[in-house]
């Protein structure tokens, strides 16, 4: 079974600035946007010390390491330390501390899962909307992500709080605009891979600050897990699409 990813609106529990440590809620028992429920009591492994924490599931962008992960009621809590050895790690800590990046996404291997039971639906009516309940799962990694309700406001806040090199990383890693490069207030179209045409790359037009923020903010959105989940279950059932 392939690793699945689920994003949750985070809740900052505690910040220790001097030690660069954060305690946060990284998962809950709520019905997510895909109609799935990841039960905290189903967390299999107990010792997660040293588990790498990434930004947006990008293994090229580690920002720290977990000290512990544990279930607490209907939530999964984690304590992690952001590195002070890189500017990126320092900036991500600042953004998390200020609540600008306030969401987390867990990557896990599903174990036992099923439809919600009548008893669960009676106890929690919102479970009627759930299509799967993950009853056992093994955490492989978790990431600090962003789900900005207002991308422009979020990105303007980030631009004021991070170092230029971190801002450049966020710009370069923008998916959904793979052939676009934002340079100042201009949008540059890049050549299509495999096509050698010196005239292909060109500056299209001036962008508004909102448009620049929108393009950059695409990489801050939560991972859309619907296709990943469906493909995983299709493979398990022997269905090839």
pLDDT for residue 196: 47
How many CB atoms within 10 Å of residue 74?
A: 14
Predicted model pTM: 0.69
pLDDT for residue 149: 47
Average pLDDT (220-238) is 55
Q: What percentage of residues in the chain have a pLDDT greater than 70?
A: 64
Separation of alpha carbons 142 and 107, rounded Å: 6
Q: Using one digit for the tens of pLDDT, what is the confidence trace for 78-123?
A: 999 999 999 999 999 998 998 888 888 898 999 999 999 999 999 9
CA distances from 132 to 26, 189, 223, 232 (A): 19, 42, 18, 13
Q: What percentage of residues in the chain have a pLDDT greater than 90?
A: 37
pLDDT for residue 191: 56
- Output 217 or 73, whichever has higher pLDDT: 73
φ, ψ of residue 137 in degrees (nearest 5): -160, 150
> Is pLDDT at 236 greater than 90 in this prediction?
no
> Is pLDDT at 19 greater than 50 in this prediction?
yes
Separation of alpha carbons 112 and 138, rounded Å: 10
> Is pLDDT at 1 greater than 80 in this prediction?
no
Residue 81 DSSP SS3: strand
**Residue 22 CB burial class (10 angstroms; 0-12, 13-18, ≥19):** buried
User: What's the mean per-residue pLDDT of the chain?
Assistant: 77
Q: Using one digit for the tens of pLDDT, what is the confidence trace for 26-84?
A: 999 999 878 899 999 999 887 788 999 998 888 888 999 999 999 998 999 999 999 99
pLDDT for residue 100: 80
> Is pLDDT at 164 greater than 50 in this prediction?
yes
Q: How many helices (H) and strands (E) does the chain have?
A: 6, 14
Q: Quick one: pLDDT band at residue 176, thresholds 50, 70, 90?
A: very low
Instruction: Specify the range with the lowest mean pLDDT, choosing from 13-17, 137-141, 181-185.
Output: 181-185
Q: At what angle do helices 209-217 and 151-161 cross, to 10 degrees?
A: 90
> Minimal CA–CA distance to 162: which of 99, 93, 87, 91?
91
Domain ranges of the chain: 4-147, 151-219
> Is pLDDT at 227 greater than 60 in this prediction?
no
The helix (H) or strand (E) run that includes residue 213 is: helix 209-217
Q: Which DSSP state fits 192?
A: P
């Amino acid at each position: 079974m392939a690793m699945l990813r689920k994003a949750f609106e985070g809740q900052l529990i505690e910040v220790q600035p001097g030690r660069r440590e954060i305690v946060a809620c990284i998962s809950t028992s709520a019905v997510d946007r895909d109609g799935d429920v990841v039960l905290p009591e189903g967390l299999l492994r107990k010792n997660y010390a040293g588990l790498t924490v990434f930004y947006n599931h990008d293994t090229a962008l580690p920002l720290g390491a977990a000290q512990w992960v544990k279930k607490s009621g209907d939530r999964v809590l984690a304590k992690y330390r952001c590195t002070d050895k890189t500017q990126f790690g320092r900036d991500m800590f600042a953004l998390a501390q200020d609540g600008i990046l306030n969401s987390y996404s867990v990557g896990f291997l599903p174990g036992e899962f099923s439809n919600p039971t009548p008893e669960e639906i009676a106890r929690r009516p919102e479970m009627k909307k759930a299509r799967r309940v993950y009853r056992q799962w093994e955490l492989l990694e978790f990431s600090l992500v962003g789900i900005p309700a207002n991308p422009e406001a979020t990105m303007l806040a980030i631009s004021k709080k991070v170092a230029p090199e971190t801002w450049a990383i966020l710009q370069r890693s923008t998916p959904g605009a793979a052939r676009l490069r934002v340079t100042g207030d201009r949008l540059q179209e890049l050549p299509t891979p495999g096509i050698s045409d010196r005239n292909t790359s060109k500056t299209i037009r001036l962008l508004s600050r909102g448009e620049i923020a929108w393009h950059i903010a695409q990489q801050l959105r939560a991972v859309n897990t619907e296709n990943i989940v469906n493909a995983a279950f299709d493979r398990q059932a022997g269905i090839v699409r």
